[in-house]
Amino acid sequence: MKKTVVIDCFHEKLDAEYACGHTIVAVDVIRSTTTAVTAVTTGRRCFPVPSLEAAVPLAARLDRPLLVGELGGYMPFGFDMNNSPVRLAAFPDTSRPVILLSTSGTRLLHEARSADKVYVACLRNFSAQVRQICNHHPTVVLMGASTRGEFREEDQMCCAWMAELLVAEGYLPLGTTSDVIKRWSGLPVDALLGGKSSRYLQITDQTDDLDFILEHCDDLRTTFVFDDAEVKATSDP
């Protein structure tokens, strides 16, 4: 079977062509997939939700959940913390499950559920994700979560780095994938600085999250799957 990889960007709805026969890797580096991966890595259960309306009944069913997230950059009323991997990692009680909400990233996960498999990736585990794909999945979509209709720099970078490794393993790049790879090939992780997402964290005094992302690049050897409305660690690739 021919192995293919395509980089794309999620907007309001997932393209129907990806609904069946594809593995989707969802990427929202700043910040929802980084926060989700960090939550599970620290021993928490993590339940991404597509909307505030979905968070409320889920919170009623779970035991003392932490409400973590943002909408349009602002923490919703009644939430415990913003969509912050740093603050979540520092929270001492890991027994409390996390309900995670974000403007785009968590909605992408739910839109992608009809795919054959949905992975949750960020810069922390991009190499591990590639190994998992090479071992199990011939038809892959690396899907960035758009913000205000834009394919943000940090998500392009993460998708491009994964795609470049996959092409080296024999995957055929489709669409504009080769162009995205070329743009980000060989650049350091701090090349994401200056993009709108990183500038937002800087002007809102959330640079600790930005530092965390830069300092925790490719530090995990675990992959994470979105299954039954929960982010779960998978076995070693």
Q: What is the pLDDT along the chain (237 residues), one digit of tens a residue?
A: 799 999 999 876 777 788 788 999 999 999 999 999 999 999 999 999 999 999 999 999 999 999 999 998 899 999 999 999 999 999 999 999 999 999 999 999 999 998 999 999 999 999 999 999 999 999 999 999 987 889 999 999 999 999 999 999 999 999 999 999 999 999 999 999 989 999 999 999 999 999 999 999 999 999 999 999 999 999 654
Beta-carbon contacts of 53 under 8 Å, excluding residues fewer than 6 positions away, are: none
Instruction: Answer for the pair 117, 137: CB distance below 8 angstroms, yes or no.
Output: yes
Which residues lie across from 8 on neighbouring strands?
143
Q: What does pTM read for this prediction?
A: 0.96
HSE of 164 in the Cβ direction (CA atoms, 13 Å)?
Answer: 17
**Cα diameter, the chain:** 50
Domain locations in the chain as residue ranges: 4-233
The pLDDT value recorded for residue 236 is 52
The pLDDT value recorded for residue 149 is 81
The pLDDT value recorded for residue 237 is 46
The pLDDT value recorded for residue 148 is 80
- Domain 4-233 -> CATH class: alpha beta
